[in-house]
Structure 1
Amino acid sequence: MSGHALYVTVRGLRTHAWVRGEGPPLVLVPGLGCASWMYVRVSRELARSRTVYVYDPPGHGRSAGRPGFPGQIEDLTDHLAAWLEVTGLSGAPVFGHSLGGEVIFDLAARYPHATSALVACAPTGIPENPSVRVQLARLLRDLPRERPGLLCPGVTAYLRSGPALMYRLAQDQSRHHTGPLLPFIGAPTLLLNGTRDPVIQSWTVQAICRAIPHALIRNVEGGTHALTDSFPRAVARFTLDFLASIEE
């Protein structure tokens, strides 16, 4: 289950995804500044039952970007929708972590045929869009709670994305109006909440759940913001059980 790299050109940008496993497809969308190599632990667990595509958004990981792009969260959504079409994965379930959760909400509302199900893990942004300063303070509170082994791949990913891109997207969260779109999400939705996550408060996840029709929450006790790394087995179990239940 070591996997292989997949490169396709999407809207002029060479776009990378890491692929591992066998079975029905599942697309994993990283958080802000994150890269495919930060999701090895959870993708290995998910790959026991699925073909997992860990997608690198433009300017992230091994995917190309361009100056000033992506400039806003909708750029990420539009690129993801185009990538799903190019790869033949339109209609596959998508799993978004952190900012990736916000992106997949936007995807399901604006491109309803692009995905059949959503799993949002510690999703950012809605209904709370804190300032960049507050986001940074919360991330600093979270760092000591994360697995030390995540530090090196995380720093590498952040350096690859760069501060300008990360600042643009973090700042755009205060202007990104996904909230009004949530009631229009028709895809089955699972929300994963870490009970020790200082970045995304539990009340925020609960508010998202109330806004999306028929959404479900599963709490990961003791879970931090990087749930995918700190609790990969629990995240994979909840995800696979959810997908199995809606695909019966």
Structure 2
Amino acid sequence: MKAREVWLEVQGVRTFARVMGAGPRIVLVPGMGCSHLYYGRLQEALAPYLEVWAYDPPGQGYSRAPLSQYRTMREVSDHLAAWLEAARLRGAVLFGHSQGGEVVLDLAGRYPGLPSRLVLCAPTGIPEYPRIPRQLLNFVRNAPRERLELCWRVVRSYFMAGPSRVWALLYDQLNHRVVPLMRRVHVPVLVLVGTRDPIIRPRLGKAFEEALPHALLRVIEGGTHALHDSRTEEVARAVLEFCPAERQAVP
């Protein structure tokens, strides 16, 4: 299926999104320092049923921004909210992976009415998430479990974002307080975690389910941290089943 490129000027940033498909809309928000580049498999799996927007946050992927800006999740969340309005995507489903899940939670808590539903795929944001050295160790442990092509796409995205921005976003995880916002998230939430993920383990997924008013946890057997890539078909099916308008279209 052919993709199209959409560029919008938002908060002074020429912002990129890769769009595929038609129908009800879902926006894929990448994790820390990442980009649309690592969402290829999931976007193709969902595109026969949904209009899938793979968004590059400011300073990540093709959306270039000054290194002094967009170094916190709150800043990225504010940009995402403004971009959703500019793209006329109010009411879309938001899918966030890893730190992207924390970003969309922040947005849903502070901008009620913008998203219709959230899908949190191996999300960060629970206070017991470890300090930076342990996070890095878990990241190294997970890397051999992912496809080599995905690892290359992630590394490429990190170089595009720059080490300074990636480090700033990683450090911000220690200070960002999303749990108080969870009580203000009143849209349905699907939490996805994998059994082979050393970064976000199933027990952390359970903590999200308990903290959010309208959350459902789904544990996917064999899923790594990049669950959307290692178990694409299972993740796509879970997303389609979660979107009421698409229940009849689930393969």
Identity of aligned residues (%): 46
Name the residue aligned to 1:57.
57
The answer for the alignment partner of 2:13 in structure 1 is 13
Q: What is the Cα deviation at residue 128 of structure 1?
A: 2.6
The answer to whether the Cα contact below 8 Å between 1:59 and 1:161 also exists between their aligned partners in 2 is yes
- In 1, the alpha carbon distance for the partners of 2:37 and 2:172 equals 25
Matched with 1:150 is 150
2:180 maps to: 180
Partner residue in 2 for 1:237? 237
| Aligned length in residues | 248
Residue 203 (structure 1) aligns with: 203
Is this contact kept in 1: 2:15–2:64, CA < 8 A?
A: yes
1:7-41 CA distances to partner (integer Å, 9 max, x unpaired)? 00000000000000111111010001111011100
CA distance in structure 1 between the partners assigned to 2:150 and 2:65 by the alignment: 24
* Aligned alpha-carbon RMSD (Å): 1.4
- Who is 2:224 aligned against? 224
The letter of the residue matching 1:105 is L
Q: Which runs of 5+ in 2 are unaligned?
A: none
Q: Distance in 2 between matches of 1:33 and 1:135?
A: 15
2:49 and 2:246 in contact (8 A); partners too = no
Please state whether the residue corresponding to 2:243 is helix, strand or coil.
helix
After TM superposition, the structure 1 stretch with the greater mean CA deviation from structure 2, 234-243 or 197-206, is 197-206
2:67 aligns to what? 67
Question: Contact (CA 8 Å) 1:131, 1:171: kept in 2 or not?
Answer: no
Partner SS, residue 183 of structure 2: helix
Cα separation, 1, equivalents of 2:18 and 2:30: 12
Give the Cα–Cα distance (whole angstroms) in 2 for the partners of residues 41 and 4 of structure 1.
16
Deviation digits for residues 48-91 of structure 1 (CA, Å, limit 9, x no counterpart): 10000000001111011112211211001000000000010012
1:20 partner amino acid: M
Tell me the distance in 2 between the aligned counterparts of 1:18 and 1:143: 25
How many Å apart are 1:245 and its aligned residue? Answer: 6.9
Residue in 2 that maps onto 1:4: 4
**Matched residue of 2:125: which SS?**
coil
Please list, as runs of the form range in 1=range in 2, the aligned pairs for 1:14-53 lying within 5 A after superposition: 14-53=14-53
**Range moving further from structure 2, 35-44 or 150-159:** 150-159
- Is contact 2:58-2:64 (8 Å) kept? yes
Moved segments of 4+, more than 4 Å: 245-248
Letter in 2 for 1:47: A
Alpha-carbon distance between aligned partners in 2 of 1:203 and 1:55, rounded to the nearest angstrom:
29
Listed as ranges, the matches of 1:90-239 within 5 Å are 90-239=90-239
**Which deviates further from its counterpart, 122-131 or 89-98?**
122-131
Give the deviation of 1:187 after TM superposition. 0.7
Contact 1:94–1:115 under 8 Å retained in 2: yes
Query: What's the CA shift string for 1:129-167, capped at 9, x where partnerless?
Result: 322222111100000111122122121111111111011
Distance in 1 (alpha carbons) for counterparts of 2:94 and 2:157: 21
- Which amino acid is 1:27 matched to? V
Distance 1:190 1:86 in 2: 26
Quote the offset at 1:180 in angstroms: 1.1
Where does the alignment leave 5 or more consecutive residues of structure 1 unmatched?
A: none
Q: What are the superposed Cα offsets for residues 210-238 of structure 1, whole Å, 9 maximum, x if unpaired?
A: 01012001111010000111111110000
Question: What TM-score do the two structures reach when normalised by structure 2?
Answer: 0.95
- CA distances 1:173-202 after superposition (whole Å, capped 9, x unpaired): 111010111121101000001111001121
